[in-house]
A and B are shown apart, each in its own frame.
Chain A
Amino acid sequence: MKFFQGFRFKRALTPIHRLDSRVKLLISCAFFVAFLYVELLPLIVILLAQVPLVVIARVHREWLQTLRGGAFFATMIFVINVLTGSQVTYSLAMVIRFLILISAFSVFFLTTRPDDLEVALEKMGVPYEYCFMFTTAVRYVPVLAIEALTIIDAQRSRGLEMEKGNFIKRVKNFIPVLIPLLVNSIRRSIEMAEAMEARSWGATKYRTSLYVPRLRPMDYISLIITVAAISFAVYVHFFWTIPTTVIPIPGL
Chain B
Amino acid sequence: MIEVSGLHFTYPTGVEALRGVSTKIGKGEFVAIMGENGAGKTTLAKHFNGLLKPSRGKVFVNGIDTRKASVAELSRKVGLVFQNPDHQFFCETVKEEIAFGLRNFGFPREAIKERVKWALALLGLTKYEKSSPFVLSGGEKKRLALASVLAWDPEVLIIDEPTIGQDYAQKEKLRHFIAQLIAKEKAVIIITHDIEFVADCSPRVIVMSRGRIVMDGPAWTVLTNHKQILKAALIPPQVTQVFIKLSDLGMPTGIIGVNEARDLLVERLLGASG
| Residues of chain A whose beta carbon lies under 8 Å from any beta carbon of chain B | 1, 147, 150-151, 153-161, 175-176, 178-180, 183-184, 187
Contact partner, B75, options A1, A156, A184, Cβ 8 Å: A156
Q: How far is the CA of A161 from the CA of B50 in the complex (A)?
A: 13
Interface centre among A1, A153, A159, A175 (most CB of B within 10 A): A159
Most buried by B among A147, A160, A178, A184: A160
Given that A150-B82, A183-B134 are contacting pairs, would A157 and B51 also be in contact in the complex, using a CB cutoff of 8 Å?
yes
A158 to B51, CA, bound (A): 11
B residues in contact with A1, CB < 8 Å: 12
Whether B148 is near chain A, meaning CB under 8 Å from some CB there, is yes
| Nearest CB in chain A: distance from B144 CB, A | 12
B125 surroundings in chain A (CB, below 8 A): none
Q: A155-B88, A175-B90, A180-B87 are in contact. List 7 more A-B contacts (CB 8 A).
A: A1-B12, A154-B88, A159-B101, A159-B105, A159-B152, A178-B90, A180-B89
Nearest chain A CB to B150 CB, angstrom units = 12
**Given that A153-B82, A154-B82, A176-B100 are contacting pairs, would A159 and B87 also be in contact in the complex, using a CB cutoff of 8 Å?**
no
Q: Output the residue of B46, B75, B101, B104 with the most chain A CB within 10 A.
A: B104
For residue B183, CB closer than 8 A to chain A, the reply is no
Task: Give the A-binding residues of B (Cβ under 8 A).
Answer: 12, 46, 49, 51, 70-72, 75-76, 79-80, 82, 84, 86-90, 100-101, 104-105, 134, 148-149, 152
A153-B46, A153-B51, A183-B134 are known contacts. Are A159 and B75 too (CB-CB below 8 A)? yes
A180 x B82 contact (CB < 8 A): no
- The complex places the Cα of A162 from the Cα of B65 at a distance, in Å, of 21
Compute how far the CA of A10 lies from the CA of B105 in the bound complex, rounded to whole angstroms. 45
Q: Is the Cβ of B89 less than 8 Å from the Cβ of A158?
A: no
Q: List 18 A-B contacts (CB under 8 A).
A: A150-B87, A151-B87, A153-B51, A154-B82, A156-B51, A157-B51, A157-B71, A157-B82, A158-B100, A158-B149, A160-B72, A161-B70, A179-B89, A180-B89, A180-B90, A183-B86, A183-B89, A184-B87
Most buried by A among B72, B79, B101: B72
Q: How far is A161 from B51 in the complex, measured between Cα atoms in Å?
A: 12
The 6 closest A-B pairs by CB, nearest first: A159-B104, A179-B90, A158-B101, A154-B88, A157-B80, A154-B82
| Contact between B87 and A157, CB atoms less than 8 A apart | no
Contacts of B82 in A (CB 8 A): 150, 153-154, 157
B103 nearest CB neighbor, chain A only: A159
Q: Roughly how many angstroms separate A187 CA and B86 CA in the complex, as a whole number?
A: 10
Contact check, B134 vs A158: say whether CB atoms are below 8 A apart.
no
Which residues of B are found within 8 Å of A184, using beta-carbon distances? 86-87
In the complex, residue of chain A having the shortest beta-carbon distance to the beta carbon of B106? A159
Chain B residues whose C-beta falls within 8 Å of the C-beta of A176 in the assembled complex: 88, 90, 100
Contacts of A175 in B (CB 8 A): 90
In this complex, what residue of A is CB-closest to B134?
A183
In the complex, the answer to whether A157 meets B90 with C-beta atoms within 8 Å is no
**Most chain A beta-carbon neighbours within 10 Å: one of B51, B76, B88:** B88
Find out whether the CB atom of B89 lies under 8 angstroms from the CB atom of A156. Answer: no
User: What distance in Å separates the Cβ of B73 from its nearest Cβ neighbour in chain A?
Assistant: 9
- In angstroms, Cα B133 to Cα A183, docked, is 12
What separation, in Å, do the CA atoms of A155 and B72 have in the docked complex? 10
Inside 8 A of A158's CB, which chain B residues have their CB? 75, 88, 100-101, 104, 148-149
Q: Is the CB of B87 within 8 A of A154?
A: yes
CB closest residue in chain A, given B102 = A159
Q: Judge whether B72 and A161 touch: CB under 8 Å.
A: yes
Residues on A with C-beta less than 8 A from B149 are 158
A175 CA to B92 CA, complexed, in Å: 12
- How far, in Å, is B165 (CB) from chain A's closest CB? 15
Q: A153-B46, A153-B51, A183-B134 are in contact. Are A160 and B104 (CB under 8 A)?
A: yes
CB neighbours of B100 from chain A (8 A): 158, 176
B106 to nearest A CB, angstroms?
9
> B86 touches which one: A155, A161, A178, A180 (CB < 8 A)?
A180
Contact in complex: B71, A156 (CB < 8 Å): yes
A179: chain B residues at CB < 8 Å are 89-90
Q: How far is the CB of B38 from chain A (nearest CB, A)?
A: 15
Q: In the bound complex, do residue B79 and residue A157 qualify as a contact, i.e. CB atoms below 8 Å apart?
A: yes
- B86: A residues at CB distance < 8 A: 180, 183-184, 187
Which B residues touch A180, using CB under 8 A?
86-90
Residues of A within 8 A of B70 (CB): 161
B-side contacts of A160, CB under 8 Å: 72, 104
Write the chain B residue with the least CB distance to A153. B51
